[in-house]
Structure 1
Amino acid sequence: MNRMAKMSLLLVLMLSGCISWVFAKSPFNDMPSGEYKLDLTHASIVWKVSHLGLSDYVARFADFDASIDYNASDVTESVVTASINPLSIQTAYPLADEKDFNQILATDKSWFNAGQFASIDFQSTKITMTGEKTAEMVGDLTFLGVTKPVTLNVTFNGAMLRQPFSGKPTMGFSATTSLERSQWGMTKYVPNIGDEVEIMIEGEFAKTDD
């Protein structure tokens, strides 16, 4: 191998090493303690419910917020809070905006009743690690004026001490849960429209400035 080829190979290896270092995932217990805020540009809340037992109807919320009061010395002592704006519901119903379908679903008193209950709120009460990167998180969900516990299955996807675009410590999670909407007083069309609602959550959380 001639000198130029060796130098090119060395440069490639150095660049590869730098890229690997920048994008390397850090163990979450190495992340600094403090408040982490949701990056809404890299987050989603999607839910689905059975329609006549024939298909699952899927929708999402577009406006929500969440934060983690993160305890690096004992992850289970961390606290997660979240809030959802029910007016931000989005469905794939044909011509939903033109027919005000999303607005009706959000404001109808038999559905999300956003005029009376402007927020859906969650606060964790217990976190139990079930694996190196998995946990069960129990918390209080306040919906339609009713507060009841729910359990989320959480997967820790990864973390970066310095996220390459924001430059901030950042953690990413996925979570799933299911609930019976009738337990919170939403009984319309049960069982033709399913009582059980499956919820899928994705989120990246960046550390706030101290």
Structure 2
Amino acid sequence: MRSILPVVALLALAACSPQPADKTAEAPAAAAPTTTAPKPPKADIPAGDYTLDKHHATLVFRVSHLGFSNYTGAFADFDAKLHFDQNNAAVSTLEATVNPTSLTIPAPPEGFLAELTGPQWLNTATYPAITFKSTKVETTGPDTGKVTGDLTLHGVTKPVTLDVTYNGGYTGHPMDPHARIGFSAKGAFKRSDFGIAYGVPAPGSTMGVSDEVQVAIEAEFSGPPLAATPSPAAPASNP
């Protein structure tokens, strides 16, 4: 439908334009049939081990604050290792580690970061790492999937599922001679399940900070090196 709208608009414009009186109006041309262009084939991304490109990765979380806004924070220090197979998602695996002391929040009041990393919240002195280890990877569409894994937070391990979009990749480039792939992921969990219940609103109220934590991840990974182009065979020398 969208593809014929420009044609309809042009015909309407022509109908409103002044026409010479001695010229017979021509019948408008029929709109060209709509066609759907085929999607280009995916690059043949090599299977293998991939490491996180920390320069092109973000880990953001959101919690509802009093029901008035989605308070947003991030972790600046995290790493991930991925074993990736584009043609067999089930054998792909992911392990990630987050440094909770790298928490960043907008314009924190004096002492607030220390409070969030202290005993009532993340308690980083006792639990110095947040980890995620996949247990199942499944596809839900041509470029989408679910990654279920064990999230260890605040000393508690629970399963969490991420909805993942595979953004594609390439086998390498002269200025980046390794395979590269990219993903967007999102998920949610209840912080009280991990023993962080401070400030959760009473039932029926929003007075506090929501139990649900929403997570959004953007990540690029670098993988196997670009295969070298074979050198042309040297011409045979004359005897």
TM-score by length of 2: 0.71
Please identify the structure whose Cα radius of gyration is greater.
2
Select the residue among 31, 56, 69 that pairs with 2:45: 31
1:15-164 alignment, distance < 5 Å: 27=42, 30-94=44-108, 96=109, 99-106=110-117, 108-163=118-173
CA distance in 2, matches of 1:76, 1:102: 39
Structure 2 SS opposite 1:45: strand
Provide the secondary structure at the position in 2 that maps to 1:194: coil
- Distance (Å, rounded) in 2 between the aligned partners of 1:163 and 1:174: 22
Q: Deviations over 1:40-85 (max 9, x none)?
A: 1000000110011111110000000001012345122100000000
SS in 1 for 2:158: strand
* Contact 1:163/1:170 (<8 A) preserved: no
Q: Is the 8 A contact 1:26 1:161 kept in 2?
A: no
Deviation of the 1:128 alpha carbon: 1.1
Contact 2:46 2:224 survives alignment (8 Å): no
Counterpart CA distance in 2 for 1:101 and 1:163 is: 44
* Residues 164/42 of structure 1: CA separation in 2 closer, same or farther (3 Å cut): farther
Q: Secondary structure at the match of 1:112?
A: coil
Tell me which moved more, 66-75 or 165-174.
Answer: 66-75
Q: Secondary structure at the match of 2:90?
A: helix
Point out the more displaced range, 72-81 or 41-50. Answer: 72-81
Deviation at 1:165, TM superposition (A): 3.7
Matched residue, 1:195: 211
Deviation, 1:31, is 1.4
Identify which range, 55-64 or 162-171, moves more after superposition.
162-171
Code of the residue aligned with 2:96 in structure 1: it is A
Q: Match of 2:23?
A: none
Match of 2:194 among 181, 184, 206: 184
What is the DSSP-based 3-state SS (H/G/I as helix, E as strand, rest coil) of the residue aligned with 2:119?
coil
Q: Secondary structure at the match of 2:168?
A: strand
Aligned structure 1 segments of 4 or more residues deviating by more than 4 angstroms: none
Q: Are residues 163 and 120 of structure 1, via their aligned partners in 2, closer, same or farther at CA, if it must alter by over 3 Å? A: farther
Asked whether the 8 Å contact 2:172–2:180 carries over to 1, the reply is: yes
Q: Deviations over 1:79-124 (max 9, x none)?
A: 0000000000000034x5xx24223312x11111110111000011
Kindly indicate whether structure 1 or structure 2 has the higher relative contact order, using CA contacts under 8 Å at least 6 residues apart.
1
Q: Which one has a larger percent strand, Structure 1 or Structure 2? A: 1
The RMSD of aligned alpha carbons is: 1.9
Go from structure 1 to structure 2 and tell me whether the alpha carbon gap of 1:102 and 1:133 turns closer, same or farther (over 3 Å shift). same
How many residues are paired up?
A: 181
Q: Is the Cα–Cα contact under 8 Å of residues 26 and 159 in structure 1 kept in the other structure?
A: no
Query: What letter corresponds to residue 27 of structure 1 in structure 2?
Result: K
TM-score, normalised with respect to structure 1: 0.81
Q: Which runs of 5+ in 1 are unaligned?
A: 1-24
Q: 1:181 to 1:77 in 2, by over 3 A?
A: same
Structure 2, gaps ≥5 residues long: 1-39, 202-207, 227-239
**Contact kept? 1:59, 1:91, Cα under 8 Å:** yes
User: What is the alpha-carbon distance in structure 2 between the residues aligned to residue 155 and residue 90 of structure 1?
Assistant: 25
